[in-house]
Amino acid sequence: MEALIDYLLQFGHLNQQQIDLVKSKAVFREIKKDEHYQEAGKIPREVIFLTEGIFRICYYNNKGVDITKYFIDEGNFVVDINSYNQNIPSSEYAQAITDCKFIVLSKEAMKQLSMTIIGWDDIIAKITSKGLSEKVNKISTMMSEDATERYLNFFERFPKLANRIPLSYLASYLGITQSSLSRIRKNISG
């Protein structure tokens, strides 16, 4: 819970009363590895803050292939913000690829915080744009790298994960086939 508060405070000030209010609205939840937190077709009605574990966001492309859009690790919010904002079904899945613990803020809770805390919306806006910009930057950078560089960067960021998640999750994220990824790994380690 403190992790969430610390995170929020990076983006704006909250006094103790406001912090307590946030805490009072937040609910813990956890899911096991491989479970889906959110499924395509459903309207997201809450925002979560990951405190433990890693999610992958994925979708089926126009060829029906499961594509990992990005990974999210602890200390970050998870939500399909457009579907959430506009109340429309999401087109992506959020799957726990390790056991995960997180803090839930329902849309109701968010609304109340917004109405009660001056500056809340500003904090959320900053978090949103920062989170999305990071995703743009990350994927954009990958576009000008070759597969090996992409893998090495992923490995650097998620060293424990690289050899523990299914090849398919990682390969689709890196924009290569599973066999290519397998060969790249071999070349690096060998």
Binding site for DNA (CB under 7 A): 146-148, 165-168, 175-186
Q: How far is the CB of 82 from a copy of itself (least distance, A)?
A: 5
Q: What is the SS3 assignment for 9-38?
A: HCCCCCCHHHHHHHHHHCEEEEECCCCEEE
Cβ atoms 25, 74 nearer than 8 A: no
Q: Calculate helix-pair angle for 147-157, 167-174, nearest 10 degrees.
A: 120
**Partner touching 128 among a copy of itself, DNA, none, CB below 5 to 8 Å by kind:** a copy of itself
**Partner touching 153 among a copy of itself, DNA, none, CB below 5 to 8 Å by kind:** none
**Partner touching 61 among DNA, a copy of itself, none, CB below 5 to 8 Å by kind:** a copy of itself
Give the interface with a copy of itself as residue ranges (CB under 8 A): 61, 65, 67, 69-70, 81-82, 85-86, 121-122, 124-126, 128-130, 132-133, 135-136, 139-144, 172-175
Q: Calculate helix-pair angle for 107-116, 120-143, nearest 10 degrees.
A: 120
